Amino acid sequence: MKIKYFTIILVLTISFGIWESSQLKAQSPQNIPNDPFFDEQWNLYNDGAGDSAVAGADINILRAWKITEGSSDIVISMFDRGIDLDTTTSPMELHHPEMDDENRHMLGKNYTSMWGGDPDNVRDGFPGGTSGHGTWVSGVIFAEKNNEEGIAGIAPRVSALHNRVLGGSPTRREDFKNASLDIKQKASENPNKRYIVNYSAGWFSDPGQETLLQGVQYLESEEVILVSISQNNNQPQVYYPARYAGDFDNVIAVGATVDNDNRCVVGPESGSNYGPELTIVAPGRLIPTTDLVYAESESLPGPYRLAGTSCSTSMAAPHVSGVIGLILSINNQLTPLQVKEILKESADEVGNVVYQNGFHEEMGYGRLNAYQALIHTIENHGAVLGKDKEDVELVLEDDLQFNHDIDLAENTNLTIRSDEGTVSLSAESGVVNIGGEWIGSSAKIAGDLVSDREYPAQKKDAEKERVGRFRLHQNYPNPFNPATKIGFSLPEAADVRLEVFDVTGRQVALLLNEHKPAGHHDVTFDAGDLSSGVYLYRIQAGGHIETRKMLFMK
């Protein structure tokens, strides 16, 4: 029996086990591509080889690729120093063998004054780049996978829009603003696509807050996510525009890590910048990537290189942009705030630091985890799986709890696999449909093949749910009208107090004030009698206190 679609209504809990559709058998937990330099890509798969390397200090991409490799409806716009172009052709064409597919790679504009001699025509120039920086950054995301060449990109099926926004121009902040305005217009004209901007540059200040800020606001107006860097000066200050992550939901501030999962620091003035606005960290030193075709590198045979010989948040940012591309590929209805929360909730708390409420100024909310980001999306927001893959596999690392519909594209096989145990499906209400066949409002399925039989209901036991750390989750939906659900997770039993305040600090609701067992819990908040606006909800549980924002819109 082949699963044509798979819909779960309300709550479905899956424990460790094997669940296979049709005759699809469990595969190896690894999904190593045939790209010859993949062995060098510790950022994607770190087996601990190397003097300082720690196994697992990577972004967990192999399991993510079993779910999706990206959708062409997701466009990542590169605001960088341009892409490698063949200057011998007219018009100039894509040059690098890993990034020459004209169906995926679109040439944008040159916003700088480096191209040609006529400043009035500068925006009509091609986005070529001779420094290599734009080609290095782009390769991390877009390099072809399983083509027996070079490296593997994080999101090899998303679309790319290459722009030259950096390099040589005395008005680089203005260049960012102008490029952002164009992306705003593209997003408005193409409502079926989602746009992400990767900007591997940062400034100590935004004079008058008139240029970079305007660019951020242009992007925000069309829900375009901006991924930008904290910078590389080893300073306790996140540079602009990444610093706007503290004020704008659509801005992600990215720092850099090394192969042992610590913050990248190579000298007093060379290290990943940090601060309260930092969102997340990702690998950013000695990253295998694409290089200019004519370039010669001692680190890897051309046209490839190890980029980021010192600390490079420029190389960290495309990891995050690529994973956001994967997230939106399975759910393109997510808001920028939801995407940011997914990244924060799914990140790994790594490094030689102590996190407070899941955050540390040197590491943000932790190191990027691509697989867990997709799982968190599927569990908490729903997804459409199989648009880009015939075989989708979820490799269980923990219990799964689905709270929204999961749709499987036609002619797609779904496998849920673990090393041992069984798979339990339990819906306290609602139905479970597999291949159009109703298998009961509650069911337990175990073994090698999904059958049509109905099994006794299996109730979810919150006492047995494994929770690794305390979390206050973002409410959903958000914005909401009039009710929303607030979730929290307890690693151990605790006295819990959950309150809601308006922006003046006045309490408007006491949702919970009682002892709760370990596990995941949800509380519904109905704001029907309140005015529209921003509200704060705060939880106190044991020694933990955390506050989040939510928006009520009538």
> Is 32 among the domain residues?
no
Pairing state between β 406-408 and 383-385 = parallel
430 and 316 housed in the same domain: no
Burial 471-509 (b: 16+ CB within 10 A, else e): bbbbbbebebeeebebbbbbbeebebebbbeeeeeeebb
Among residues 311, 345, 375, the one where a domain terminates is 375
Neighbours of 355 (CB within 10 A): 15
> Is 323 among the domain residues?
yes
> Is 30 among the domain residues?
no
> Which residue numbers are catalytic?
80, 133, 314
442 and 477 housed in the same domain: no
> Is 29 among the domain residues?
no
221 and 127 housed in the same domain: yes
Pairing state between β 391-395 and 544-552 = unpaired
Query: Phi then psi for 325, rounded to 5 degrees?
Result: -60, -40
Among residues 432, 460, 488, the one where a domain terminates is 460
Give, to the nearest 10 degrees, the angle between helix 370-381 and helix 313-330.
30
59 and 133 housed in the same domain: yes
This prediction's pTM: 0.76
Q: What is the pLDDT of residue 170?
A: 57
Q: Which residues contact 279 (CB under 8 A, 6 or more apart)?
A: 245, 252, 253, 254, 340, 343, 344, 364, 365
Query: How many angstroms separate the CA atoms of 441 and 34, rounded?
Result: 43
Q: What is the pLDDT of residue 285?
A: 97
Query: How many angstroms separate the CA atoms of 12 and 402, rounded?
Result: 5
411 and 428 housed in the same domain: yes
Q: What is the pLDDT of residue 395?
A: 75
370 and 406 housed in the same domain: no
> Is 364 among the domain residues?
yes
Count Cα neighbours of 90 within 13 Å in the Cβ-side half-sphere. Answer: 0
Please, are residues 216 and 180 in contact by the beta-carbon 8 Å criterion?
A: yes
Q: Which residues contact 389 (CB under 8 A, 6 or more apart)?
A: 67, 68, 69, 412
Q: What is the pLDDT of residue 400?
A: 67
CATH code of the domain covering residue 353: 3.40.50.200
Q: Which residues contact 85 (CB under 8 A, 6 or more apart)?
A: 92, 93, 94, 95, 107, 126, 127, 128, 129
> Is 282 among the domain residues?
yes
CATH code of the domain covering residue 544: 2.60.40.1930
> Is 548 among the domain residues?
yes
349 and 400 housed in the same domain: no
488 and 344 housed in the same domain: no
Which portions of the chain are predicted below pLDDT 70?
1-30, 87-88, 90, 113-126, 129-130, 168-171, 208, 398-405, 418-468
292 and 243 housed in the same domain: yes
What's the token pair of residue 271? 């290290």
412 and 528 housed in the same domain: no
The range of the structural domain enclosing residue 172 comes to 38-375
326 and 203 housed in the same domain: yes
Among residues 426, 460, 494, the one where a domain terminates is 460
Query: How many angstroms separate the CA atoms of 475 and 359, rounded?
Result: 19
> How many independent structural domains does the chain possess?
3
181 and 116 housed in the same domain: yes
